[in-house]
């Protein structure tokens, strides 16, 4: 049937009674093809115990920036040396405050070592957003190429060549 379920990132029901739990009341069941991007979000503007959801189909794909300790490549031998020099391997761990202090010290040592051992230049990223009509042409071309490889019919090769040329012309128009 090729249906997919799209659910919001956070609950849509926020009960005011303490004996009830947060829950997701709304979902989407769709047949949106994989090459068409969609985003779903909660609309938190209302002041009730229910928040509606919003599904945007055909939206531009947003690049998720992953949280990282470093901004670029890490020099692992340098990191290892910095950690081994700055780490305290024999802290007193008798009280909860000493344990918390040791955890904080270890965390700071790792963070500072990672920052000092990494380059400031992040690796190059491909930030190109491909328009939807180009993505559709590309998917059609790939499908036609697969069909031609399977059948070896001249008509399938002609279809593949037509779509390949159409895609190239569309890219040149960008």
pLDDT at 63 over 70: no
**Beta-strand (E) ranges in the chain?**
4-6, 28-30, 38-42, 53-57
Percent of the chain with pLDDT over 90: 34
Range with lowest mean pLDDT among 98-102, 125-129, 137-141, 166-170: 125-129
Ranges of each domain in the chain: 1-61, 76-117, 132-173
Mean pLDDT of the region 53-81: 80
Question: 76, 116 in Cβ contact below 8 A?
Answer: no
Can you give the pLDDT at residue 155?
Answer: 94
- pTM for the model stands at 0.40
| Average pLDDT taken over every residue of the chain | 84
Residue 77: C-alpha distances to residues 70, 122, 155 (Å): 15, 19, 58
Q: List, for residues 10-32, the tens digit of each pLDDT value.
A: 888 777 777 878 888 888 888 87
Residue 45 has pLDDT above 80, yes or no: no
| The pLDDT value given to residue 87 | 92
Nearest CA among 50, 45, 35, 48 for reference residue 137: 35
**Pair 42, 75: CB distance under 8 Å:** no
């Amino acid at each position: 049937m090729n249906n997919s379920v799209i659910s919001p990132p956070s609950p849509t029901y926020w009960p005011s009674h303490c004996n009830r739990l947060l829950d997701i009341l709304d979902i989407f069941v769709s047949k949106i093809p994989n090459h068409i991007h969609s985003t779903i979000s909660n609309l938190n503007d209302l002041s009730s115990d229910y928040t509606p959801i919003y599904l945007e189909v055909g939206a531009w794909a947003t690049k998720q920036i992953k949280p990282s300790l470093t901004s670029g490549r890490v020099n692992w031998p340098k990191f290892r040396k910095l950690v081994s020099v700055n780490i305290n391997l024999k802290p007193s761990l008798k009280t909860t405050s000493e344990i918390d202090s040791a955890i904080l010290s270890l965390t700071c040592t790792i963070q500072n070592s990672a920052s000092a051992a990494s380059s400031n230049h992040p690796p190059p990223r491909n930030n190109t957003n491909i328009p939807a009509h180009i993505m559709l042409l590309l998917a059609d071309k790939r499908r036609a190429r697969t069909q031609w490889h399977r059948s070896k019919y001249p008509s399938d090769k002609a279809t593949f060549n037509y779509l390949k040329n159409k895609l190239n012309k569309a890219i040149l128009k960008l």
